[in-house]
Structure 1
Amino acid sequence: MAFLTLIIGNKNYSSWSLRPWLALKQFGFSFDEVRIPLYTPEASEQIRQYCPNGNGKVPILIHESRTVWDSMAIFEYLSEMFPERSWWAGDRSARAMARSICAEMHAGFLPLRTQMSMNCREHFPNYEIQAEVQKDIDRITTLWKYCRETYGAGGAFLFGRFTIADAVYAPVVLRFRTYDVKLDAVCQAYADAILALPAMQEWLEAANAETETIQF
């Protein structure tokens, strides 16, 4: 067994699972992966076998004798345990901004989450975007443009080089791709950079190979 194990859900659907999975890949970690298909009668019991004290959801990180659930808790744990990897952006101002936009993504954007659920295998051209979802899209693209213009020198990502913030927003890139969201040049270039990552291509290839379907 690798010294890190990540418990995830379906790659086609589980946006929460993608976040730490992508970060671990980008920061060069080897880890074991346990995939548990979600929304099956046995899913909750299977998840709790790995994390009895958790909330019955993925992702879950197992490191040594410790079990950590929730993607942001996993990121904070990894940044504490492996600070040499520079998980956050460069200076204090950039790190403050990165943490803020990650917290906003983690806690907010409910209309986007519910009406544009992650589905890597599908594509809905000319999808009809409701006003409340458009508001979320506008907020996200405003954040992306501000970060790229203010902190993005030296790389193609929100803070130049890849950070936790990019892992947090990677599922949004996939949602925009699935639902054919039209982006300005700055945001499209950022989305293209995320999609071009070998790790993202690996995730999408695995998602396309999955056979499970969650009807709702």
Structure 2
Amino acid sequence: MTAILTLSSKNYSSWSMRGWLLCKLAGLEVEEQMVPVDADTRAELLLLSPSVRVPRLTDGEVSVWDTLAIGGYLNERFPDAGMYPADLAMRAHCRAISGEIHSGFYNLRSALPMNLRVRHESFKVFSGAKPDIERIIEIWEECLTRYGGPFLFGATPTVADAMFAPVATRFVTYNVALPALAAQYRDTVLAWEPVQEWIAAALAEPDEMIELEVEF
């Protein structure tokens, strides 16, 4: 039975992007079930997910939502996929920064909503979001310096890279200036084949797709 991944807009939904990338990391082939998010379909989303959120992975009798929960399930289901680093300390670090991006950075969520179709050459970033940007740069530079890159925990992508991928797209959308090492990582993420595939699908998405909420 083919697993089903319920998604909303590929252009606007950062959480959908994360869930999809996690499936790619695991090597799980999924059937994408797109849910147009408007007032008429919020009830349908409620039936699909008690949290009224996407993505939602249905794999046989298993149904799991919340991006980190999907990542945890896939890591258990495909333990050889390398979704987390093999080293215990690195794995703990990967979980910590993935959790940080999952639960924090509210000001940046509000100030720089995801939109893959547009490019702002000159965008005044809300001052409250600047500490969030600085923290993200700090996370990236620490990981790249400690583990050697080009991904956050070394030569291959992990859950952390899937979690931070939408951030890289936002930095391009709003032309956020980055120091050299962070900019190099941003470009590495954007060149990652699954990210390229997601962006291409987002650009081809019908215009009527709308955002469920401002999300990071």
Normalised to the residue count of structure 2, the TM-score between the two structures is: 0.92
Match of 1:178 in 2: 173
Structure 1 unaligned regions, length at least 5: none
Q: 2:74 aligned with 1:78, yes or no? A: yes
Counterpart selection for 1:42 from 40, 43, 46: 40
Aligned counterparts of 1:139 and 1:89: Cα–Cα separation in 2? 22
Q: Which AA in structure 1 matches 2:126? A: Q
Residue number in structure 1 paired with 2:201: 206
Aligned length: 210
- Alignment match, 1:144: 140
In 2, the alpha carbon distance for the partners of 1:69 and 1:84 equals 22
SS in 2 for 1:182: coil
Which deviates further from its counterpart, 6-15 or 122-131? 122-131
Matched residue, 2:96:
100
- The root-mean-square deviation of aligned C-alpha atoms, in Å, is 1.6
Structure-2 separation of matches of 1:213 and 1:36: 9
1:157 equivalent in structure 2: 151
Higher relative contact order by CA 8 Å / sep ≥ 6: 1 or 2? 2
Letter in structure 1 aligned against 2:196? Q
Q: Quote how far apart the aligned CAs of 1:23 are.
A: 2.1
1:24 aligns with 2:23: yes
Q: How far is the alpha carbon of 1:172 from its aligned partner?
A: 0.4
- Give distance in 1, aligned partners of 2:179 and 2:209: 32
Per-residue deviation, 1:163: 0.1
Following the alignment from structure 1 to structure 2, what is the Cα–Cα distance between the partners of residues 23 and 93?
A: 21
Deviation at 1:93, TM superposition (A): 1.1
In 1, are the aligned partners of 2:113 and 2:170 still within 8 Å (CA)? Answer: yes
* Structure 2 segments unaligned to the other structure (5+ residues): none
Hey, what's the Cα distance between the residues in 2 that align with 1:123 and 1:102?
27
Q: CA deviation at 1:44?
A: 1.7
2:45 maps to a residue whose letter is I
Aligned equivalent of 2:127: 131
Is the 8 Å Cα contact of residues 44 and 57 (structure 1) preserved in structure 2?
no
Q: Distance in 1 between matches of 2:41 and 2:11?
A: 16
Which stretch shifts more, 199-208 or 140-149? 199-208
1:132 CA displacement: 1.4
TM-score with structure 1 setting the length: 0.92
* Conservation of the 8 A alpha-carbon contact between 2:36 and 2:209: no
TM-superposed deviation, 1:26:
3.4
1:213, CA displacement in angstroms? 5.3
Distance 1:140 1:9 in 2: 25
- Cα deviations by residue, 1:134-153 (Å, 9 ceiling, x for unpaired): 110000000000001112x3
Residue 19 of structure 2: SS of its match in structure 1? helix
Deviation at 1:48, TM superposition (A): 3.5
Mapped partners of 2:122, 2:59: distance in 1: 44
Q: Indicate the residue corresponding to 1:193 in structure 2.
A: 188
1:55-95 residue CA offsets vs partner (Å, 9 max, x unmatched): 12101000111110110111111112221212112311111
